[in-house]
Structure formats: structure tokens, C-alpha cells
Amino acid sequence: MAEELVLQQGDKAEQYQSIIPQIQAIVEGESDVIANLANICAALKQQFDWLWIGFYLVKQNELVLGPFQGPIACTRIAKGRGVCGTAWQQQQVMIVPDVDQFPGHIACSSASRSEIVLPVIKNGECVAVLDIDSEELNQFDEIDAEYLQQLIIIIETFI
């Protein structure tokens, strides 16, 4: 079945309020994790046009690249390394206004200037992270964290 998104103009909160229910409708009833994660990346890319949106999945004690939209990316990330590895290790949302100021930042793309990473928790353990990069400094804030956390709750129902 073909899906069509209704893209919302307006402030960040209004855009999230529009896109999150649409994403929920797309993943509802679909049991394939990879298909769902891929569609989530595509929907976020269409709505916000960030540089990079993707998932890293925890496999054999490292993060392994999963579905994404954007330039090619790092394939594997160790626990505690970079923003993604730190979010996984600490099991908390990481908002980085300037990636050049983050100790140990992994520069998969030199165009990335700011980043937000959210862990996906299942049965008390981090099983994946959602990583979003922007070409602009200070792109992400608590509004992004709040609404993307709502999306993470949806993801935790099927991952």
C-alpha cells in the first residue's frame, strides 16, 4: 500500500504534531522492524530535511548501521564512542549544539554541525539509537527531544 505524507508548515512543534500521528499510522500493523525504521527515517527526512536521519542497532555489543536517509555513514560504533555510543552507554538523550565541541565526536560527514541522539530501550536495555544530524549549529533543543521521545515510545512497541 502506498503511503502519502501530509507535510506541515509552521513551527517545529506543529510539524511534529502533524508528522508523529502519520508515522504511527504507517507503522501500525507492520511487523517488520527494518521496514518500519526505514519509513520513519523517510518521513522525518521529508518533513524536516535534516542532513542525516538513521538508526544504529545494538548487535554483539556494538552499534551497527541500520535504516537511514542521507549521506553514507559510519557502519559500526563502539559503546561510549561519539555521540551515538555515549547515548547508548548512558541510556539518555544527547543534544549536541556544536559537534566540533563534543569530545570524541565521530565525523561521518564533515557537513554535520549539530546532532541529537535518542536511545531506544526495550526491557531495560538499549537496543538501538535514533541519530539525527543537521548542517546547522544549534538545530536541536528540548522541543525536538520531547517530540522525538514520543516517536521513540512508538518504536519501542515494535522493535
Please tell me whether residue 129 adopts helix, strand or coil conformation.
strand
pLDDT computed for residue 100 by the predictor: 83
- For the chain, the domain total comes to 1
Q: Is 23 exposed, middle or buried (0-12, 13-18, 19+ CB in 10 A)?
A: buried
Grid cell locating 97: 549544539
Per-residue pLDDT tens over the stretch 41-84: 999 999 999 999 999 999 999 999 999 999 999 999 999 999 99
Q: Residue 73 falls within a domain, yes or no? A: yes
Residue with cell 547515548: 87
The reply to whether 1 falls in a domain is no
Q: What is the pLDDT of residues 25-35, one digit of tens each?
A: 999 989 999 99
CATH of the domain at 70: 3.30.450.40
- The pLDDT tens digits of the residues spanning 88-142 come to 999 999 999 998 888 766 767 678 889 999 999 999 999 999 999 999 999 999 9
Average pLDDT over residues 11-22: 96
Residues 77 and 106 sit within 8 Å (Cβ to Cβ): yes
Residue 88 within any structural domain of the chain: yes
Classify residue 114: in a domain, yes or no. Answer: yes
Residue 91's domain comprises: 12-156
> Does residue 127 form part of some domain?
yes
Phi, then psi, of 80 in degrees rounded to 5: 85, -5
What is the reported pTM?
Answer: 0.93
Asked, for residue 28, whether it belongs to a domain, the answer is yes
Residue 134 lies in a domain: yes
Q: Which residues contact 32 (CB under 8 A, 6 or more apart)?
A: none
Phi, psi values for residue 99, rounded to 5°: -65, -25
In a domain, 140, yes or no: yes
